């Protein structure tokens, strides 16, 4: 007999900010907020009044502040720093995006055509980091659709990691014997155009309903080999605290579950989500680790640093997961800048992923040699803690395979020949 508690009535009664979001078709038109039209030469008195409305939080970046002044002049600091306001006022349609960006033909046409697997969703905060006029800016390429998404190339698939065929019950992906991926919902506050799970996220199919969650937890409870549960989605931090607390509590009651992890991109795209009440709740469920999705140094803002600081202060070890993306972060210089900024934000670079061959991803994928070149440019050239493990997730569900430069040159009897980061060779006495 199960010893779990059902979700308390009080918990269910709490309005979920983003519990079961409706499907989000590309170019969705419904959005409560319309950014103000840009007034190029506002009267002086009006400008002065607008500036007085926006109170600068001490941890806000100048770029974010300038964006707020221009497009959200009447939004209070209380609203801007409220994660639910940010989530409710995301940019989701062509008309909304064109108010703040000058789109290229290829971007505009992609949004007009729609029909791709992934909807559009960008928080006002993250949009403030996007270049208004450079379609090649790294962050912009990752959130604004492009016609390249419609090009299919050999080897691509909607579910390249065969997650669906490793799913014993809805919401659980069980690939490795001792750990599972628990997809708690399919909502993200900001959608990444290269998302491995673009076949499901944002479509409203994975809902955080009690019945669905309980089935997944039942599977974990009934499978004693599982010692590690990774909550993912979608973004688990999109759930309200009561629902997330309930999930973590139920998992913690299972004796064989030793270790919980949460995968999230919130500190990068919606750092306002990392509230003190969230961290107070999370710290009740230790040992709890967090994998945070960062892809570019431009994401390492004061806001993101403050969010990571709050999580770290709650005793949550933070690791970064980064997808290697062509034209976004595929140089040693960019990656070194990112990993240095991550360490300063108390986040340990954990994985550098080769971009999965999802349908329409060719414009994002680099060669494997490029990934190895980047690791070679980091290892020995910077702090060891700053060097992530470069992995390719094997198509078909083979799991993560680490790749690194060849430092082992060979063996000559009792001597093993190796090379260091400078290319100098050395021999190590290693009797057979």
Known catalytic residues are 175-176, 179, 188, 192, 195, 197, 356, 393, 400
Instruction: Give backbone dihedrals phi and psi of 122, rounded to 5 degrees, phi first.
Output: -140, 125
CA nearest neighbour of 57 among 347, 303, 339: 303
Q: How far is the CB of 192 from ligand SF4 (least distance, A)?
A: 3
CB of 188 to ligand SF4, least distance (A): 3
Least distance to ligand SF4, CB of residue 409, Å: 38
Helix (H) or strand (E) holding 377: helix 368-378
> Which strands sit side by side in the sheet containing 425-429, from one edge to the other?
408-412, 415-419, 425-429
CB < 8 Å & 24+ apart, contacts of 374-377 = 374/324, 374/330, 374/331, 374/332, 374/335, 375/403, 375/404, 375/405, 376/405, 376/421, 377/332, 377/335, 377/336
> Is the Cβ of residue 71 or residue 191 nearer to ligand SF4 in the bound state?
191
Task: Tell the smallest beta-carbon distance from residue 171 to ligand SF4 (Å).
Answer: 14
CB 334 within 8 A of CB 303: no
Which is nearer to ligand SF4, 250 or 356 (by Cβ)?
356
Using DSSP, state whether 153 is helix, strand or coil: coil
- Look up residue 257 and give its two tokens: 């579950």
Where b means 16+ CB within 10 Å and e means fewer, 257-277 reads: bebbbbbbbbbbbbbbbbeee
Distinct helix (H) and strand (E) counts, the chain: 16, 12
Of the pair 73, 271, the CB lying nearest ligand SF4 is at: 271
How near is the Cβ of 376 to ligand SF4 at its closest, in Å? 26
Which residues lie across from 419 on neighbouring strands? 425
Q: Which residues contact 45 (CB under 8 A, 6 or more apart)?
A: none
- 235 or 298, CB closer to ligand SF4? 235
Q: List residues near ligand SF4 by CB under 6 A.
A: 188, 191-192, 195, 197, 201, 233-235, 265, 293
Q: Could you tell me the sign of the dihedral formed by the alpha carbons of 318, 324, 326, 332, in that order?
A: positive
3-state class (DSSP) for residue 323: strand
Distance CA 106, CA 371 (A): 28
């Amino acid at each position: 007999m199960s010893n779990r508690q059902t979700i308390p009535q009080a918990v269910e009664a709490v309005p979920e900010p983003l519990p079961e979001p409706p499907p989000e078709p590309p170019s969705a038109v419904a959005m409560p907020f319309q950014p103000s039209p840009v007034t190029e030469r506002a009267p002086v008195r009006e400008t002065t009044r607008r500036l007085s409305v926006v109170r600068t939080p001490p941890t806000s970046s100048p770029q974010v502040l300038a964006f707020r002044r221009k497009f959200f002049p009447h939004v209070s600091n209380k609203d801007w720093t409220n994660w639910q306001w940010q989530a409710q006022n995301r940019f989701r349609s062509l008309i909304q995006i064109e108010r703040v960006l000058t789109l290229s033909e290829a971007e505009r046409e992609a949004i007009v055509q729609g029909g791709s697997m992934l909807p559009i969703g960008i928080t006002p905060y993250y949009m403030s980091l996007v270049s208004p006029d450079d379609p090649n800016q790294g962050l912009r390429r990752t959130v604004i659709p492009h016609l390249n998404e419609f090009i299919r190339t050999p080897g691509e698939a909607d579910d390249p990691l065969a997650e669906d065929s490793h799913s014993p019950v809805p919401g659980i992906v069980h690939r490795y014997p001792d750990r599972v991926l628990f997809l708690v919902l399919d909502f993200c506050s900001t959608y990444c155009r290269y998302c491995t799970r673009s076949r499901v996220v944002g479509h409203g199919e994975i809902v955080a309903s009690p019945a669905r969650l309980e089935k997944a937890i039942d599977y974990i409870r009934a499978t004693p080999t599982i010692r590690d549960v990774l909550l993912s989605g979608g973004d688990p931090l999109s759930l309200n605290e009561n629902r997330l607390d309930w999930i973590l509590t139920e998992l913690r009651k299972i004796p064989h579950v030793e270790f919980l992890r949460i995968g999230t991109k919130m500190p990068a795209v919606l750092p306002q989500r990392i509230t003190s009440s969230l961290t107070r709740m999370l710290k009740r469920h230790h040992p709890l680790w967090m994998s945070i999705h960062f892809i570019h140094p431009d994401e390492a803002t004061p806001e993101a640093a403050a969010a990571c600081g709050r999580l770290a202060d709650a005793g949550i070890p933070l690791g970064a997961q980064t997808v290697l993306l062509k034209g976004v972060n595929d140089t040693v210089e960019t990656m070194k800048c990112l990993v240095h900024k991550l360490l300063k934000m108390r986040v340990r670079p954990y994985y550098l992923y080769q971009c999965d061959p999802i349908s329409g991803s060719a414009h994002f994928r680099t060669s494997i040699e490029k990934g190895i070149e980047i690791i070679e440019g980091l290892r020995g050239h910077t702090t060891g803690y700053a060097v992530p493990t470069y992995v390719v997730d094997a198509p078909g569900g083979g799991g993560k395979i680490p790749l690194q430069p060849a430092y082992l040159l060979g063996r000559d009897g009792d001597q093993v020949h190796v090379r260091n980061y400078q290319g100098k060779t050395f021999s190590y006495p290693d009797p057979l």
